[in-house]
Structure 1
């Protein structure tokens, strides 16, 4: 009796909210199946098990529903891989026509040849904390927009309430309303929105503080100068698993804090820091570095090093360099289970 060797297959999933396009290729690149099913773990698992029973890799891109589907399919024992959408888009863009069907086939092809960059999928708890941080960050941005709107309104009438960066700005706007009651119907709703946003931001901050206080790793990371609970939690949720990085020095490029380099033949070009996949994290690290350079009173080797860079290359480069160093220090503390150490001369890195 002739027993055929099972065909090794590779699957690409192009996910949208309602449905997912699926493509199955064999090891030679021959298309065995193409179709679409609802974006539901049971439906996806069923079609893969029926159409690709000897599947070696299943590829899907990073996206809003990816963590949920990735965990669900992994839980069903399927070899699903989450790949970096930015990396995949460069490969998929080479196709003449961009359609969901073509993207699914392109992802299957990437799985077949092994040309992909695997992305980390956060654990449910990490995703929860990250969502809290993101929600707070978005509310802060909304509050900033409201403040700028109020400032623009009063300026257009020749009235000035000072800088929106000061905490007294809303009070100064209230004083303008008292002195100019005709502006009450214009400015009072904006003030009410500002107050509501401030209250809800405080709710998120209280929850995040409690999480940081209960987490021993976060408490150790917060011993680093300039690092508070927000930066510590943002860093931990950005990294998720510190063991993913074989060296702490890899954190700089990962967080978009390393200079861009182009080298080919006789050309060797470098410029400022590159694209930031996590803008919130890079912003927090830059702010923390600014605190180290300008507000930290105690002497530290970290601050002394940063000030030398400042004197040599200017504040912006120094702040980026210190931000990069902070990421390295936090990762090392997290991995080693230690705390920031202080020298005899003061608090030092």
Structure 2
């Protein structure tokens, strides 16, 4: 089989396409013909060497494909079934725990930049009915993160106001999920063109953060007292504005650090406004099943910017780094 492998110490120039023996499923495992994957910041951190992995690691946490063979004792799937990976294969349900968040594909174990994978059947769920492999491959990290941030943690309801940042995969899924649940959405971007596309997806209020540096104040003013939930992807560089934007008793889901790993925040404001700040790292297998049922019921479909072949994986990451994309970037092979 053909795989993309990362040579130590990492870097886009250290990704090589090579041939490896086809795997076979052991007891409790399924052999999956991978058809698609999608890029996340986590994957970039791996291939860039920010997250250290062993020499020869196969990257990519997300994968969608079809079962071609099952190992002894497997009854949940059969050959021909369309399956979807889980970001945390050992996290079935319940609260986060160290042992449940181990062996992330493409990081703690080989991932889905491979034509074939043999993994435990428990590492997969079904795909949404009628979705392409590329569409399904956008769900395990980005969509589930947005789902857990808004539905599980913030518990948004119809009439709530949600603030999203930018036009990456998590932010667009958050916009779509919020609208499907009857919430209003304030969306930010630095691009007028991208803001127009966010409007077309249903955003109720748009803020160009380059033109409006105090966008937190603007969001609070539009929502007449502050937003109910923020999907915070920037981290330290944007957190102060998110705190300003939040209402009394509001909820901030911290899911990214794209604008800084550490920095000062107004703890006094957090305290005075009784804001909940909750770190969110993807979600459980049970939450993925619930999210799949929700997207089927609501008709949500992912926004895919562009797909690349497996051999174009480095070019796909270059496209991601350039921030030219709107929505998800996929690999299809």
TM-score using structure 1 length: 0.23
> Structure 1 or 2: larger strand share?
2
TM-score using structure 2 length: 0.24
